[in-house]
Amino acid sequence: MQVILRTDIAGLGYKNDILEVKAGYGRNYLIPQGFAVMATESNKKQLAENLKQASHKAEKIKKDAEDLAAAIGEMTVEIAAKAGDSGKIFGRVTSIQISEALKAKGFDVDRKKITVEDVKTIGTYKATLDLHKEVKHAVTVNVVAEA
């Protein structure tokens, strides 16, 4: 079953992508939730027209994402977490904490656009910022023990 996505869906695709999905997933989840529409000929023509009209706006959004990635650069974000003597942290470092740390440094990145590997000990990790479907940026996360 072919569908046209109306919104970005992590792990599936980005807005206005035409994707092949299983019939049950499209019919029972994506379409009723408003995340996608059937990829009929008329919907494809409408999508092409909308993309043509929105191309200038899309270029500006992409340039803004590239500028944000350039401004962030090779930044290291420091997150304090409670840890035991062995260096194992209590709880977990989440995308919310990284988003707040970036916000404190003047960069507003939505927590849903941040992916971080599983952090269980004190150390240095990489977080990926999905700023645009063509712009991804890595940030170093330094997890330290709280005093």
pLDDT of residue 147: 67
Taking only the tens place, the pLDDT of each residue in 63-118 is 988 998 898 888 899 999 898 888 899 888 889 999 999 999 988 888 888 998 88
Same structural domain for residues 76 and 138?
A: yes
Token pair listed for 117: 């590997």
Of 16, 45, 65, which one is at a domain's C-terminal end?
65
| Full domain range(s) for residue 12 | 2-65
Same structural domain for residues 59 and 74?
A: no
pTM over 0.85: no
Same structural domain for residues 118 and 101?
A: yes
Share of the chain above pLDDT 90, in %: 49
Q: What is the dihedral of CA 133, 134, 138, 139, to 10 degrees?
A: -60
Taking only the tens place, the pLDDT of each residue in 49-67 is 888 888 878 888 889 889 9
pLDDT of residue 55: 81
Same structural domain for residues 77 and 139?
A: yes
Q: Could you write out the DSSP letters of every residue in 35-89?
A: SEEE--HHHHHHHHHHHHHHHHHHHHHHHHHHHHHHHHTT-EEEEEE-B-TTSBB
Distances (CA, A) of 62 to 3, 9, 70: 24, 18, 12
